[in-house]
Amino acid sequence: MPASPTLHVRPVAAELREAVLRLHVRPDQDGFVSPPARTLADAERCPGSQPMAILLDDMVVGYYRIERSARSLAGYDAEAEALGLRSFQLDAAWQGRGLGARALDALLTDLAQRHPQARRIVLTVNCNNTAALALYRRAGFADSGTLYHGGRSGPQHLLWRHLP
């Protein structure tokens, strides 16, 4: 019996870049997350940002970026040990298979290993993005009670979670 595919995360290196650039979400999600084709170059240029690929075995199925400072998200004034999460997404072809929760687990495990000084992770999510809100809450993120009003698609919840 073949082993089930392994889901893991890796920094976006040259060999993964083209696959990451081909990722896209469903049309109804376009207002919630920018495609890597628009954000990857910025993440690569920004010294405080780390673009990451989500892989199922060797196939790129998703993308996100980690910000060394949670302050880069909506100007949130977090403690120095807080990281920011942006652009978390799975390709449309891979959604609905339970990979989102697995990807968040892999992301959190990776952060604990690569950023042992970090104590929390912070993100914003559009108030109308009910599927993402449910996913993040299942993964242990708490709502700060603060809304960010600077997003291109309306107000966003500010969520946070302690890191393992």
Give residue 152's domain range. 7-162
| pLDDT tens-digit map of 39-91 | 999 999 988 899 999 999 999 999 999 998 766 565 555 556 789 999 999 99
For residue 5 the two structure tokens come to: 């595919």
For residue 46 the two structure tokens come to: 């920004």
Q: Is residue 1 part of a domain?
A: no
The reply to whether the predicted model has a pTM over 0.85 is yes
Q: Is residue 99 part of a domain?
A: yes
Q: How far lies 64's CA from each of 3, 9, 86, 140, 146, in Å? A: 26, 10, 6, 18, 23
Whole-number pLDDT of residue 63 = 98
Q: Is residue 2 part of a domain?
A: no
Q: Among residues 117, 118, 124, which one has the least CA distance to residue 141? A: 124
For the domain that residue 147 is a member of, what is the CATH number?
Answer: 3.40.630.30
Mean pLDDT of the chain: 89
Would you call 158 helix, strand, or coil by DSSP? Answer: strand
Q: Is residue 61 part of a domain?
A: yes
Q: Is residue 113 part of a domain?
A: yes
